Amino acid sequence: MKFQLNIILGAAVLFSLNMNAAVIATELPDRQQALPSVPKAKQTYLQPAALSDIPTGEFGDKVRLGYQLFVNTQQLRDKYVGNQLNCVNCHLNAGNKANASPLWGAYFAYPAYRKKNDKVNSFEERLQGCFTYSMNGKAPESGSKELVALSAYSYWLGMSGLMLQHNVAGPVPELSDSELVKGAKRDDFILPEAISSKMDQNALAQLPGRGYPAVPKAEQAYSPERGLVVYQAHCQSCHGQDGQGQIIAGVAALPPVWGAQSFNWGAGMHRVNTAADFIYENMPLGKSVQLTPQQAWDVAAYINSQDRPQDPRFKGNVVETRSQYHQHDGFYGQSVAGTVLGSTSSANFPKK
Ligand code: HEC
Ligand code: HEC
């Protein structure tokens, strides 16, 4: 009897539920469905440990100093830095962001051959390159406390990430200063067995998320004129109509993208393709891929057809510097709006 009653009650409940559904359906004919989610890429990126896990003690102090120098490189202004930039302006999120040339992706890729200076570069030599060109400065000396610290920070991010990924317990193994600055792509670099059994040096040198991914080719050749329109719509609000960013009390709250306070004519970012890669993936800041590839190429061409500090390799002749070092996408040595770019650029730090 009780059983039967339950069935009857249950049927009544079902019936009224159906009624409700019918009512709602007629009231809201366009009820929303969950959006189909489109996977961006089947990719998990290395995830370094939290900065609060950096150990106390001498080694941890080096890692912490490296972090400090990376996010506030202006503390080295005039000593090693000749513009208003900080490393973090191009290597976003304290050098952690995948596809924004993360430090954890870089550390396991050195020593490596670089065409730019035609030799095998240790990690500290690669760091020196960004001081000379991107920071328009004077590189700290090999083995200096700054290069040791930046290397220690990069190593710690990468190693802590690998250890987490492969369930290796314990603190990140400490390295000496002279080991730190070399980078990890060397035969005498010791990896925990749990990692080395899964990944060889080549895999470690190409971790997913390293560098800036290549922007797809655009239909039309890049154009600074079209780039100006993109710049005005998507960039100017932060980087300024004059490209000088926003300097508040002597500190760039928003970084300059051309002019005397920006990266120089030798920096990777002055190449239109490199800037397009960076911009497509990372700008406007805080908004994931917003521009079309064409817009990214055009706006990269626009910012890189403006004047900036001289190429440090310049020895008095723009044509020569161009033919020697600028056989790539870029405007150095080309005539734009009546001036040959590079011909009036001011001398590089520290010669000013
Ligand atoms: C204006 C943008 C910019 C700034 C500022 C900058 N870099 Fe870079 N950095 C780049 C670009 C672009 C590359 C890629 C190299 C290329 O394409 O020439 C790079 C490459 C690197 C690499 C090698 C990455 C790899 O995976 O091989 C390291 C390490 C590095 N930078 C460290 C630094 C440090 C340290 C600073 C500050 C002292 C700094 N960068 C400042 C743009 C910048
Ligand atoms: C919402 C503000 C904002 C917008 C809009 C924006 N940026 Fe940026 N951009 C930044 C900030 C902030 C950084 C430095 C990032 C950091 O330090 O974390 C940066 C860094 C850069 C850099 C590398 C550093 C430098 O100064 O050379 C370039 C190049 C750049 N932006 C280009 C662009 C372009 C091109 C656009 C338009 C498509 C754009 N940005 C839109 C805020 C913005």
Q: What pLDDT digit, counting tens, does each position of 39-87 carry?
A: 556 678 999 999 999 999 999 999 999 999 999 999 999 999 999 999 9
- Asked if the model's pLDDT at residue 13 lies above 70, the reply is no
Mean pLDDT of 149-159: 98
The reply to whether ligand 1 has any atom less than 6 angstroms from the CB of 101 is yes
- Asked if the model's pLDDT at residue 117 lies above 90, the reply is no
Query: Taking the CA of residue 145 as centre, how many other CA atoms within 13 Å lie in the half-sphere pointing to its CB?
Result: 9
Q: Nearest ligand, CA of residue 284?
A: 2
Q: What is the pLDDT of residue 345?
A: 87
Mean pLDDT of 5-19: 45
Q: In degrees rounded to 5, what are phi and psi of residue 45?
A: -100, 150
- Please tell me the distance from the alpha carbon of residue 172 to that of residue 333, in angstroms, as a whole number: 47
Q: In degrees rounded to 5, what are phi and psi of residue 255?
A: -80, 145
Q: What is the pLDDT of residue 21?
A: 44
Reduced to 3 states (helix: H, G, I; strand: E, B; else coil), residue 254 is: strand
Mean pLDDT of 32-36: 66
Residue with structure tokens 């797809």?
A: 216
Instruction: Please tell me the residue having the least CA distance from ligand 1 atom 17.
Output: 268
Reduced to 3 states (helix: H, G, I; strand: E, B; else coil), residue 329 is: coil
Q: Which domains does the chain have, with CATH numbers?
A: 51-205 (1.10.760.10), 224-340 (1.10.760.10)
Residue with structure tokens 């405007």?
A: 331
The reply to whether ligand 2 has any atom less than 6 angstroms from the CB of 90 is yes
Q: What is the pLDDT of residue 59?
A: 98
Q: What pLDDT digit, counting tens, does each position of 246-275 carry?
A: 999 888 999 999 999 999 999 999 999 999
Q: What pLDDT digit, counting tens, does each position of 271-288 carry?
A: 999 999 999 999 999 887
- Asked if the model's pLDDT at residue 344 lies above 60, the reply is yes
Pick the atom of ligand 2 nearest to 230's CA. 38
Lowest average pLDDT, out of 79-83, 161-165, 220-224, 336-340, goes to: 336-340
- Read off the pTM: 0.89
Mean pLDDT of 77-98: 97
- Asked if the model's pLDDT at residue 333 lies above 70, the reply is yes
- Asked if the model's pLDDT at residue 134 lies above 50, the reply is yes
Mean pLDDT of 115-138: 93
Q: Nearest ligand, CA of residue 138?
A: 1
Q: Nearest ligand, CA of residue 132?
A: 1
- Please tell me the distance from the alpha carbon of residue 75 to that of residue 235, in angstroms, as a whole number: 27
Q: What is the pLDDT of residue 32?
A: 61
Q: What is the pLDDT of residue 289?
A: 83
Q: What is the pLDDT of residue 156?
A: 98
> Which of 75, 80, 84, 134 most suits a substitution to test ligand 1, by most atoms within 8 Å of the C-beta?
134
Distance between Cα 283 and ligand 2 center (Å): 6
Pick from 129, 124, 131, 121: nearest CA to 147: 124
Q: What is the pLDDT of residue 115?
A: 85
Percentage, residues of the chain above pLDDT 70? 87
Distance between Cα 294 and ligand 2 center (Å): 18
Q: Which residue has the higher pLDDT, 256 or 9?
A: 256
Confidence grade of residue 12 (pLDDT, cut at 50, 70, 90): very low
Please give the structure tokens belonging to residue 337. Answer: 């709006």
The reply to whether ligand 2 has any atom less than 6 angstroms from the CB of 91 is no
